[in-house]
Amino acid sequence: MSLKILLISPIGLKKILGADFFFKLPFLGLPTVAAHTPPDCEVKMVDERIRPVDFDADADLIGISVMTPLATRAYEIADEFKRRGKTVVMGGMHVSALPEEALEHCDAVAVGEGEKVWPQMVEDFKRGELKEIYQANQLIDLAEALPPRWDIIDKNMYSPVDFIETTRGCPINCNFCAVTQFYGAKYRTKPVHLVEEMVAKVKPVDKFFALKNLIFFVDDNIVANRKHCMELLNMLKSYNIQWLGQASVSVAKDDELLKLMSETRCLGLLIGMESLSEDTLAECGKRINKPAEYLEAVNTLHRYGIGVKATFMIGFDNDDISVFPKMARFITRSNFDSVYFSILTPYPGTRLFKRMESEGRLLHKVWEKYDTAHVVFRPRKMTVEQLEEGFTWLYKKALSMKSIALRLARGRTNPQFFLPDNLAFRSCLFRMLRGSKKD
Ligand code: SF4
């Protein structure tokens, strides 16, 4: 009889602003874990955003992926399965940083990239020799990483977006980000012929519904390895697809890459601009960003028909209350097609978390509040209330109908994507504000 495994993606107890985006997006993690499961096992998956967990499910082994804001719910689920006598294992960035905490709720923890240790966990479980910690001692060669098993989710329940990964890792090591610790400081690349196998399965652009059949390249910086990116884009030229991705602002200086992006129907790039202050960027370790160049960089991308979703963080040690009106003025006169703000959040596993903890500045470890919409630490130059109120005020300004109309009119780039994007975030904002009044 084959081993039955149930993989679970928990939902946050509180809604994160924009968490559902105007898409319901599938996470890559568990379908990737499923692909690396020994072939004699039967794997099912539950995404709590789609349907509730059945605690009476016929499963021998329960696997739960844990990101920090979902940790509280993940532990609740684990406790309930344990109460019913099931074996529960966990993986993901949060439990990789805090395996001892996770072991209070489960039997074993995968520390680091799951692909390397998951098959061993399953084999040990079969033999009744499950250990508590499985540490991935080396990073996976992306040529060996199997494509995610999308057959374990009901794709009809999600937005028609295909998530594809072509690189992992980042050497920049910003103090608020766990990517360098988790995925390593070296850019690893997936051979383009393997990416092509996934791209070839994506349905072509839908003539009648512009937002259908998009690829989202999940790489933190798709242009990090220029040679690989050129090869990828040249491959994409043969396919009738459209795509979105994430890139550093430096992409604006590379006309050859932008031309290829335009030819391959890149609708937009998400760019982590983080701050308008050079001092803050130095503080967090992202010196590659030059705020004086932001608006011109966006103009350049627009000339190639590529829209920009700019993301910023508020609450750095250099930020005082003047950051809010300054940022609001900048956004109002900007040409950003879309903007996203988050409150600085010290996630376990980051340098920022270690520093805040050693300085005694963490307010609590109520993980569901680590969702970038709540303040979970004592800011240096303002109060907790000022940061929370300023964040909401700033979002209201940036997502006012006037600001949306002005920005989109200036950018005039892929409004079929960016207008719904802005309106969906605006609706999330007002839902969140209504929710917080009720709290
Ligand atoms: S925020 Fe981006 S640039 Fe900074 S470490 Fe993370 S992935 Fe790298």
For every residue of 174-211, DSSP letters joined together read -TT--HHHHH-SS-EE--HHHHHHHHTTSPPPPSS-TT
Q: Are residues 362 and 409 in the same domain?
A: yes
- Tell me the pTM: 0.92
Domain boundary among 135, 170, 187: 135
Q: Which residue puts its alpha carbon closest to atom 3 of ligand 1?
A: 172
**Cα torsion angle, 229, 235, 237, 239, sign:** negative
Q: Are both 277 and 421 inside the same structural domain?
A: yes
- C-alpha span between 433 and 439 (Å, rounded): 10
Which CATH number goes with the domain that contains 221? 3.20.20.70
Considering the chain, what percentage of its residues have pLDDT values greater than 70?
A: 95
Q: Is residue 407 part of a domain?
A: yes
26 neighbors 153 (Cβ within 8 angstroms): yes
Domain that holds residue 117: 3-135
The pLDDT value recorded for residue 213 is 78
Task: Say what the pLDDT of residue 2 is.
Answer: 87
Assess whether the C-beta atom of 373 lies below 6 angstroms from ligand 1.
no
Domain finish residue from 135, 150, 182: 135
Same domain, 46 and 182: no
What is the rounded average pLDDT of the residues 223-249? Answer: 96
282 CA → ligand 1 middle, Å: 13
170 CB within 6 A, ligand 1: yes
Query: Would you state the pLDDT for residue 94?
Result: 97
For residue 337, being part of any structural domain is answered with yes
pLDDT, residue 21, reads: 45
Is 101 among the domain residues?
A: yes
In the predicted structure, residue 140 carries a pLDDT above the cut 90: yes
For ligand 1, say whether the CB of 178 is within 6 Å of any of its atoms.
no
Residues 219, 329, single domain; the answer is: yes
Looking at the predicted structure, is the pLDDT value of residue 330 above 90?
yes
Nearest to 10 by CA among 55, 72, 89, 62: 72
Q: Does 172 sit in the ligand 1 pocket, CB within 6 Å?
A: yes
Question: Ligand 1 pocket, 421 CB below 6 A?
Answer: no
How many Cα atoms within 13 Å fall on the side-chain side of residue 39? 1
Mean per-residue pLDDT of the chain: 93
pLDDT of residue 431: 81
Are 190 and 130 found together in one domain? no
CA 370 – CA 362 distance, rounded (Å): 11
What digits encode the pLDDT tens for the residues 150-187?
999 988 888 888 999 999 999 999 999 999 999 999 99
Query: Across residues 256-283, what is the average pLDDT?
Result: 97
Q: Could you read off the pLDDT of 297-318 as tens digits, one per residue? A: 999 999 999 999 999 999 999 9
Say yes or no to pLDDT of 19 above 60.
no
pLDDT at 355 over 90: yes
What is each CA distance from 106 to 17, 65, 124, 314, in whole angstroms?
Answer: 29, 12, 15, 35
- Provide the domain count of the chain: 2
Atom 6 of ligand 1, residue of closest alpha carbon: 177
**196/329 same-domain check:** yes
Name the residue with higher pLDDT: 239 or 25. 239
The answer to whether residue 155 sits within a structural domain is no
Are 128 and 166 part of one and the same domain? no
Which structure tokens are listed for 246? 């994430």
**How many alpha carbons fall within 13 Å on the CB side of residue 273?**
27
Residue that wins the pLDDT comparison between 238 and 433: 238
The reported pLDDT for the residue numbered 17 is 44
Same domain membership, residue 164 and residue 131: no
Instruction: Check whether 23 has a pLDDT greater than 70.
Output: no
Q: Ligand 1 centre and the CA of 225: distance in Å? A: 14
Answer yes or no: is pLDDT of 128 > 80. Answer: yes
Report CA(439)–ligand 1 centroid distance (Å): 34
Atom of ligand 1 lying closest to residue 248 CA: 3
Q: How far is the CA of 346 from the centre of ligand 1 (A)?
A: 14
Q: What whole-number distance in Å separates Cα of residue 380 and Cα of residue 232?
A: 43
What is the Cα–Cα distance from 229 to 66, expressed in whole angstroms? 30
Q: What is the pLDDT averaged over residues 46-51?
A: 91
Tell me what pLDDT residue 438 has: 54
Tell me, yes or no, whether 351 and 232 share the same domain: yes
Q: What is the pLDDT of residues 371-384, one digit of tens each?
A: 999 999 999 999 99
pLDDT at site 134: 98
Q: How far is the CA of 221 from the centre of ligand 1 (A)?
A: 8
Residue nearest (by alpha carbon) to ligand 1 atom 7:
220
